Structure 1
Amino acid sequence: MTPDFQQLMRNAARLTRSGDLHAATAAIQAALAGTTPAPPAPRAMRDMADVIDVAARELTDTDIDTPAPPGPAGDDAPGPGRFVAGSHSNAAGRRDFKLYIPPGAGGRALPLVVMLHGCTQNPDDFAAGTAMNELADAQGFYVLYPAQSQQANPQRCWSWFKHNHQARGRGEPALLAGMTREVMADHAVDAERVYVAGLSAGGAMAAILGDAYPDLYAAVGVHSGLATGIATDLPSALGAMQGGGKPAANGASGVPTIVFHGDADTTVHPANGQHVVMASAGTAGSVEVEQLSTPGGRAATRSVHRAPDGTVLAEHWLVHGTAHAWSGGSGRGSYTDARGPDASAEMLRFFMAHPRRSGH
């Protein structure tokens, strides 16, 4: 990806050491997004932005869990699929979103898949690249695409590496969970089959949401992302993206997780895929490894992690030759690799095999 990733990371490390955290953040965002950092604002303005950005109010469940008033009557009346815009606000802030309502919605409760885009992307781009709306047409489920704002982050990256955005009831996780619950209140969603997936920074935030809200999200999909808590500040983010980080020692979460990662990814090191799996499944149980290939496409190694009772806890797909891109995605969107196995279809298969467990 361009510009040169290693040069951007060295620049970010230099800026961190000098104390210019805002510029260092921009360099990390550019490394994730494959772009050139924007010219820096005056230092005084950047310092103010850092202070605003660091603040993250801790919320109670009342702040995020209270259902919104029901939507307009007949909103889910049977008909063709619709891609509608909306927004959600709570004490953690405000974000826009796009919601795909599949054909025939409203007759029965349907699953919901929350899709978190990567840096520089937006809901329309991510929907086009992953083709998740087409799968929703065929199989019948809602798709929610939260949008990170450029006011919150100039490159539209989710704040996965900031300690105040990594726990229940705080920052972006609280905002995204509240948005999910609002959509559930407004539409006929099956509460036992709500899932979250994402790419890159969105994948890292998806992992955080799964850990923080196992009572809400039944399973997680992480594509080219990082494990919860593997970074809590700029220096540790640099190390984690280059493969040097270690997940927080909290034990296996047990949240069913499917991971896709390309072994040619120079933006987020492929070792991070294994970190995500270990954070979910731990080392207990067994691992089944198989080599998969598609004529004219890319080969992949799939590792299935099972609990001692045989229950599938996690799947890890290492796609050979893929860089920092959604495997099997459409060229209509950014950061996709059409030659790889279909990550969207495989994630959906995994999700539907994992409804929310009793007791969560």
Structure 2
Amino acid sequence: MQPMIFPSFLLLASTAVGAPMASLQEVTGFGSNPSNIKMFVYVPDRLATKPAILVAAHACQNTAASTFGSTPYKGFADQKGFIVIYPQSAVSGACWDVSSKSSLSHNGAGSSNSIANMVTYGITKYNADASKVFFVGLSSGAMMANVMAATYPELFNAIIVHSGVPAGCFVSASNQVATWNGTCSGGKTSHTPQEWATVVKNMYPGYSGS
């Protein structure tokens, strides 16, 4: 007697073989993490040789998981074979620290340092192309993108911002991590290009790159 093979089983088996297995995963032990933020990463099933890295920062009241589910980066990563890092803020309200002296300083003990360590971990762990590291952010995440460009310019090839403010606009003299004001967010903080450049350069005085 020949064994019976059910069509439904064959369909299930073929679907399982072809189905993508990659998912959003939390990563711990990525290095110094002074702000206690979380690192999540999406590594596609078909990873490119020397893949690029995209860091995607969420807005206030959001999470790494919500950003993963509501943005197209996963699909692009599947198509192109790059890695997406989704940091998750530990600040109240899930906003990013874009105001404390710690975060607005290269190698300071703030969120910018934690995210920079995620990037360097990702480059080493996945043998990524260090010349193809990008940052995208929405709202508070866009503000964080500008802060990362100012404090760690050597890490990023380009940043993409949506609805953010300049790095240093929400600076806190008392080193608080959530100092918001209507002057900055309302577009009333006005500086010349040279003055803004000075603000940024003071975040990483030793940087001499372009």
TM-score, with structure 2 as normaliser: 0.74
User: CA deviation digits over 1:141-174, x for unaligned, max 9?
Assistant: 110000112xxx2211101133332121111111
SS of 1:90's equivalent? coil
Q: Is the contact between residue 203 and residue 222 of structure 1 (CA under 8 Å) also seen in structure 2? A: yes
Q: 2:55 aligns with which of 95, 114, 120?
A: 114
Whether 1:226 and 2:165 are equivalent positions in the alignment is yes
Name the residue aligned to 1:239.
183
SS of 2:53's equivalent? strand
Name the residue aligned to 1:168.
106
Higher strand share: 1
SS of 2:184's equivalent? helix
The aligned runs of 1:292-311 (5 Å cut-off) are none
Name the residue aligned to 2:39.
97
Q: Is the contact between residue 62 and residue 94 of structure 2 (CA under 8 Å) also seen in structure 1? A: yes
> Could you tell me how far apart the structure 2 residues matched to 1:230 and 1:247 are?
10
Give 1:236 shift.
6.7
SS of 1:115's equivalent? strand
Q: Is the contact between residue 168 and residue 199 of structure 2 (CA under 8 Å) also seen in structure 1? A: no
Q: 1:157 aligns with which of 84, 95, 98?
A: 95
User: CA deviation digits over 1:43-79, x for unaligned, max 9?
Assistant: xxxxxxxxxxxxxxxxxxxxxxxxxxxxxxxxxxxx7
> Could you tell me how far apart the structure 1 residues matched to 2:55 and 2:137 are?
8
* Structure 1 gap segments, 5+ residues each: 1-78, 255-358
Name the residue aligned to 2:130.
191
Higher mean C-alpha displacement, 134-143 vs 225-234 = 225-234
Q: 2:146 aligns with which of 188, 197, 207?
A: 207
The alignment-based identity, stated in percent, is: 22
Give 1:95 shift.
2.3
SS of 1:228's equivalent? coil
User: CA deviation digits over 1:191-238, x for unaligned, max 9?
Assistant: 110011111111101111012111111111111111111121377732
Name the residue aligned to 1:321.
none
Give 1:241 shift.
0.8
Letter in 1 for 2:187: G
Name the residue aligned to 1:144.
85
Q: 1:135 aligns with which of 76, 98, 105?
A: 76
User: CA deviation digits over 1:244-274, x for unaligned, max 9?
Assistant: 12358143999xxxxxxxxxxxxxxxxxxxx
SS of 1:183's equivalent? helix
> Could you tell me how far apart the structure 2 residues matched to 1:89 and 1:251 are?
30
Higher relative CO (CA 8 A, sep ≥ 6), structure 1 or 2?
2
Q: CA RMSD in A?
A: 2.5
Count how many residue pairs are aligned between Structure 1 and Structure 2: 174
> Could you tell me how far apart the structure 2 residues matched to 1:220 and 1:117 are?
14
* Structure 2 gap segments, 5+ residues each: 1-19, 173-177, 201-208
Give 1:86 shift.
1.1
Give 1:140 shift.
1.9
Question: Which entry has the higher C-alpha Rg, 1 or 2?
Answer: 2
